[in-house]
Amino acid sequence: MNRIHFPISFAIALLVSQPAQASVSSSFDVDSENWQVVSFADFSQNNYSIVGQYQPSYVSGGGNPGNYLAASDPDSGDFTFSAPAAFLGSQVGATGLSYDLTYRDGDVNWQTTDVMLVGNGQRLLWKRDPNIVPNSSWTHISLNLTPSSEWRLGTTDGVFASQNDFHSVLSDLSGLYIHGEYTNGIMETAGLDNVVLQTVPLPGAFWLFGVGVAGFCSFSRRV
């Protein structure tokens, strides 16, 4: 009996010890965590040319809670918060994105793409319905990385993104951009905190470990 229990225990320990694909987050408790500000020509006109790249301001206190990132409108383009390498690469297990946004110094009168994902030569655009209307308090925003009427492929009036489109982009994610501009024509400031890319372990990993457990059990019975 002990010869059966040991391999099963060993297999379970192996399963627990394997690194699962964990969620990625930025709370900005210590520093900016390598986030950047990237300005695009004009989201509303589907002009995704980069017109500038900048360093965000790191603000001590005033976050939700703790510290946070801030960016003031740097140029005539649409500015975004650009995620660092920790959020990129293979993210096929990603199921959702959430973040906290604060906004001041401008009336909210500019609505266009709220989140853009780029990967494998494709672009997924998310525009929330109803509109995001941030203010000087913290607004929590969450979205699912699954097909819906809020997700478009390529352009703001492109076809609705399919599950295959999500898989293609997330399998080699090269850009994750959170829109920070909601006012047309004046200087405004946006703040970002508590960004989380939610992921789940890949089913294939559990299948492989299941095979391993079965193999250990079979082996123990033959000993």
Q: What is the pLDDT of residues 127-176, one digit of tens each?
A: 999 999 999 999 999 999 999 999 999 999 999 999 999 999 999 999 99
Between CA 194 and CA 86 the distance in angstroms is: 14
The one-letter amino acid at 177: Y
Would you state the pLDDT for residue 104? 86
Give per-residue pLDDT as tens, 195-218: 999 998 655 444 444 444 444 344
- pLDDT beyond 80 at 69: yes
CA 148 to chain centre: 17
Would you state the pLDDT for residue 97? 98
Mean pLDDT in the chain?
86
For the chain, give the DSSP string.
-HHHHHHHHHHHHHHHHS-----EEE--SSS-TT-EEEEEEEGGGTEEEEEEEEPPEEESS-SSSS-EEEEE--SSSEEEEE--GGG-B--TTEEEEEEEEEEESS-------SEEEEETTEEEEE--SSPP---SS-EEEEEESS--TTEEESSTTSPBPPHHHHHHHHHTEEEEEEE----SSS--EEEEEEEEEEE---HHHHHHHHHHHHHHHHHHHH-
pTM over 0.85: no
Torsion sign (Cα): 35, 54, 107, 184: negative
Torsion sign (Cα): 65, 69, 73, 78: negative
Per-residue tokens: 114: 């709220």
Give per-residue pLDDT as tens, 100-137: 999 987 789 999 999 999 999 999 999 999 999 999 99
Closest CA to 46 of 129, 125, 161: 125
Class of 21-200 per CATH? mainly beta
- pLDDT beyond 50 at 87: yes
- pLDDT beyond 80 at 1: no
Would you state the pLDDT for residue 105? 76
Tell me the average pLDDT across 30-37: 98
